[in-house]
Amino acid sequence: MSKLVGSIKEAIVKSGLKSGMCISFHHHLRGGDYVLNMVMDEIAGLGIKGLTINASSIHDGHAPLIKHMADGVVAGLETNYIGPVVGKAISEGGLAKPVLFRTHGGRASDLETGRCKIDVAFIAAPASDCMGNCSGKIGKSACGSLGYAFSDAMYADKVIVITDDLQEYPFTGFSIPENTVDFVVCVDAIGDPGGIVSGTTRVTKSPVSLKIADYAARAIDASGYLKDGFSFQTGAGGASLATAVFLKKIMQKKQVTGSYALGGITGYLVDMLHAGCFRALQDVQCFDLQAVESLRNDPGHMEISASQYAGPASKSSAVSSLDVAVLGATEIDVDFNVNVHTDSNGYIMGGSGGHSDAAQECKMTVIVAPLTRKRYSVVVDRVTCISTPGSTVDVLITQYGAAVNPRRPELLERFQRYGIPVADIHALKEQADRLNGIPEPLCRDGKRVVANVQYRDGRIIDRIYQV
Amino acid sequence: MSKLVGSIKEAIVKSGLKSGMCISFHHHLRGGDYVLNMVMDEIAGLGIKGLTINASSIHDGHAPLIKHMADGVVAGLETNYIGPVVGKAISEGGLAKPVLFRTHGGRASDLETGRCKIDVAFIAAPASDCMGNCSGKIGKSACGSLGYAFSDAMYADKVIVITDDLQEYPFTGFSIPENTVDFVVCVDAIGDPGGIVSGTTRVTKSPVSLKIADYAARAIDASGYLKDGFSFQTGAGGASLATAVFLKKIMQKKQVTGSYALGGITGYLVDMLHAGCFRALQDVQCFDLQAVESLRNDPGHMEISASQYAGPASKSSAVSSLDVAVLGATEIDVDFNVNVHTDSNGYIMGGSGGHSDAAQECKMTVIVAPLTRKRYSVVVDRVTCISTPGSTVDVLITQYGAAVNPRRPELLERFQRYGIPVADIHALKEQADRLNGIPEPLCRDGKRVVANVQYRDGRIIDRIYQV
């Protein structure tokens, strides 16, 4: 018995995929992913129409989707993030149904509880045996963790693993087990290694970002959370990553041993593990080659599923024990609501990912963002789209210092005592307005809804309108 | 947030356990398990009654269950194996409802598909953090694989982890993740290491068993399956284990590199891995310390769940790729049906475990058994209980050579060509009768059914009657 089939097309036919069904993809190959496009081209060739795609993220490399949406091959999209290229097309009305945005944790829980259903999951796997025992840790297209694909494998009706490195059975290094897999296809390449992971993640040299990062690291130090057992999530964006660099110095100076760092893992977090700043890394996604290598080799670096990372239906998840999350924003308003879905013009160019998951669960959510970007205010009266409710956001750090949510007066006091410049968020908003002028509110009259934003508890908390 | 509670009693109360519910246990601590008894004593003390226990196996150390059955604390039992002590009590009518016997694979699949439901699962874990990330690989009570507990963790309403080695959070060596766990209890000892694993597994010195093992190994050699990529399951019983020892010599002489050995893993299979006879071990349960150590340290030794081992609802499992399984029998009849549930007197003293799972899926099922045991014929006209249907059994090896199922004439021919003594199974039955006399058929008239035997496809294939 072998599940190997000769081509993606054969696997699609054997899976019984029909028009109107729901298919899924994961995004661990990120900007380098070939699999979504290869699969969608075959599906289009087979004349299948009206599909819903449930993908953990959509990146700019998935631009061919725009044509499949226009041709009616794809009628619906459920995802946690959409990059600006596909985002622009959808914002201009390029998709029949409104997008359903979830969070990384919410997607896993919705699959687990049966709130959403996948008919056929396509799992890009950098290494797999002929029965579907597969992993992202090795292979020429190694991407590290396959955390977002675990729930797809477990809950989809049919599961197709697509690999470019066929291992002998049994592949003992599996992350996803054969008992969940229906078919295996071996192709020449599942992705472009250059786009899957960057060799190194460079820290920003922007003076504004470095200033923000410095303030953020000092705010964490001042918060009272930075002690032995400290846990920390940050992303790979400019100021976020730089915050980790500054924080490392503080932790080493103070000889603090944290428990774990979390989230998309970068070489900087790996360095912090090696430097003894943390005992463990909880890894749902690797952002660079150093992270991939560390996950492969370091027993302190653990691969976790999206449910284990942040599932709201989980009995607990890594974010449940999280002290501090450092997160970005395209906009933040005077009520501390954060927008990471659209830019100020209302164009889709992102998504929550794990943003609102981490913000709701951690002890202190720190948003790092400049006061303005180009000629747009980041601090605004009302965000264009609520991605993360202000009730779960504690601190905004801009280049002018910290603005603290009035819910957390004790943090304000700590920051002041520590000598971190603080500002009222309304004052920051006025300062931004003075620089950029008061932004014209976006006109939504008669505009179609192009996306609904589902919070991790299942509620639709905002809508995104056609531009 | 921590899930740690102060005692097993507190965990039971917090779980909401009520009379009439179903609770579960796994058997990785085997003869040394303290957890089932500790939990049942607390439950009895709380006045909870009429429970169904769904346990992967019941061992002789669980004799206190007999009193809990008599007192009405336990009304039902669903399991894959019952050792002779509790088996005798049930055979004599000691349990209110008939036992439901499943197979190791069938139990996992029934949980997965919702065919059965666990209200509260109690998971003995040799190492766990305060959030329930747990494993059997380390700790003073290390038992190795926790394969049979995976489905309990995933599908039970409430999951209580009971450990005697609390790890710092996050425990990166977890096998069962925190997102499935509700409560964690740390106790002094979850088991007696002497009973959990034996330091060494000794091969039989019985001349009859050695002769059987020699024939079995030669039959495997003759079968045509023993070539590169060969896969093999055997148990820890006398002749089964000895078969592995003889087979190792043949494999080394012929320089055959098998793909994997499977099942309950012993030091002998670990030796075969190290000797290059196999590339991998698929481990759903460790039988000795050497297996535990190997699972902890050797990347070729993989921990698998019961679903991945043998789930009939799995899309494939390790048994799907299995060439040869060497299995035992208390009785085998002229239609090759095998009994591993009762002795010839009809007393429950075992169960299928993975017997019928492996037999149905593998390419050649070899039953190793002496012609007679004490004064009972092993080869009989009709087994007292059908555990594994004869349609899935290919060969019986006794000390008189091989009897081949008429379904497999090509095997008979191969064995004859190879010079293995062969005998018709009817002739063996007559030979046994000459030695022991024709056994009196067990009288079942008016006897109560004390157990139903559920095959891996869900059908009840036999009943066991009160003795």
The radius of gyration computed from the CA coordinates of chain A, to the nearest angstrom, equals 22
Cβ(B355)–Cβ(B382) below 8 Å: no
Buried b (16+ CB within 10 A) or exposed e, B97-129: bbbbbbbbbbbbbbbbeeebebbbbbbbbbbbb
Is the entire prediction scored with pTM above 0.90?
yes
B170 touches chain A (CB under 8 A): yes
Q: How far is CA B58 from the centre of its chain?
A: 10
**Residue type at A393 in one-letter notation:** V
* DSSP letter, residue A387: S
Determine the straight-line distance between the first and last CA of chain A, rounded to whole angstroms: 52
Cβ(A158)–Cβ(A24) below 8 Å: no
A294 touches chain B (CB under 8 A): no
Bridge partners for B401 per DSSP: B398
Hey, are the CB atoms on A182 and B299 less than 8 Å from each other?
A: no
User: Of A79, A73, A94, nearest to A19 (Cα)?
Assistant: A73
Supply A74's token pair. 């794809």
Q: How confident is the model at residue A378 (pLDDT cuts 50, 70, 90)?
A: very high
Which CA distances in Å does B176 have to A451, B127, B147, B420?
Answer: 36, 11, 9, 46
pLDDT of B197 reads 78
Hey, are the CB atoms on A180 and B305 less than 8 Å from each other?
A: no
pLDDT of B237 reads 77
Residue A237 predicted with pLDDT over 80: no
Distance from CA of B178 to the nearest CA of A (A): 6
Instruction: Give chain A positions within 8 Å (CB) of B180.
Output: 314-315
pLDDT of A199 reads 65
- Angle at which helix A8-15 crosses helix A35-45, to 10 degrees, equals 60
Q: Label residue B363 exposed, middle or buried (CB < 10 Å: 0-12, 13-18, 19+).
A: middle
Cβ(A25)–Cβ(A36) below 8 Å: yes
User: Of B143, B135, B161, B179, nearest to B35 (Cα)?
Assistant: B161
d(CA A226, CA A203): 22
* Strands A395-398 vs A364-368: parallel, antiparallel or unpaired: parallel
**Residue type at A278 in one-letter notation:** F
Domain extents in chain A: 4-195, 199-443
| pLDDT, one tens digit for every residue, chain B (467 residues) | 789 999 999 999 999 999 999 999 999 999 999 999 999 999 999 999 999 999 999 999 999 999 999 999 999 999 999 999 999 999 999 999 999 999 999 999 999 999 999 999 999 999 999 999 999 999 999 999 999 999 999 999 999 999 999 999 999 999 999 999 999 999 999 999 788 877 667 788 899 999 999 999 999 999 999 999 999 999 777 789 899 999 999 999 999 999 999 988 999 999 999 999 999 999 999 999 999 999 999 999 999 999 999 999 999 999 999 999 999 999 999 999 999 999 999 999 999 999 999 999 999 999 999 999 988 999 999 999 999 999 999 999 999 999 999 999 999 999 999 999 999 999 999 999 999 988 888 888 889 999 999 999 999 999 999 99
Residue A201 predicted with pLDDT over 80: no
Supply B183's token pair. 């409560």
B317 touches chain A (CB under 8 A): yes
Which CA distances in Å does B97 have to A15, B82, B201?
Answer: 43, 15, 37
Residue in A159, A179, A316 nearest the CB of B317: A179
Hey, are the CB atoms on B301 and A172 less than 8 Å from each other?
A: yes
Helices assigned H by DSSP within B191-232: 193-196, 207-223
pLDDT of B446 reads 84
Which chain A residue lies closest to B3 (C-alpha atoms)? A316
* DSSP letter, residue A450: E
* Strands B372-373 vs B376-377: parallel, antiparallel or unpaired: antiparallel
Q: CATH top-level class for B199-443?
A: alpha beta
Which CA distances in Å does B223 have to A420, B210, B335, B414, B416?
Answer: 78, 20, 21, 6, 11
Bridge partners for B192 per DSSP: none
Q: Do domains A4-195 and A199-443 have the same CATH topology?
A: yes
Q: How high is the mean pLDDT of chain A?
A: 96
Longest dimension (CA), chain A: 70
d(CA A112, CA A118): 11
d(CA A159, CA A163): 13
Most B-contacting residue of A104, A128, A172, A232 (CB-CB within 10 A), to test interface:
A172
* ipTM, two decimals: 0.96
Cβ(A233)–Cβ(A263) below 8 Å: yes
pLDDT tens digits for A20-34? 999 999 999 999 999
Supply A131's token pair. 């029965």
CATH for A4-195 is 3.40.1080.10
A316 touches chain B (CB under 8 A): yes
A104 touches chain B (CB under 8 A): no
Residue A194 predicted with pLDDT over 90: no
**A223, HSE (Cβ side, Cα atoms, 13 Å):** 25
d(CA A320, CA A190): 34
Phi-psi region of A404 (alpha: psi -120 to 50; beta: other; left: phi over 0): beta
Instruction: Give chain B positions within 8 Å (CB) of A159.
Output: 315
Hey, are the CB atoms on B318 and A170 less than 8 Å from each other?
A: yes
* Strands A134-135 vs A127-129: parallel, antiparallel or unpaired: antiparallel
A377, containing H or E segment: strand A376-377
Give the number of beta-carbon pairs within 8 Å between A and B: 106
d(CA B345, CA B361): 30
Cβ(A305)–Cβ(A150) below 8 Å: yes
Residue in A3, A177, A308 nearest the CB of B178: A308
- Mean pLDDT, residues A209-237: 95
A127-146 residues touching B, CB cutoff 8 A: 131-132
Measure the CA angle with vertex A331, ends A325 and A337; round to 5°.
65
**Segment among A298-302, A401-405, B285-289, B347-351 with least mean pLDDT:** B285-289
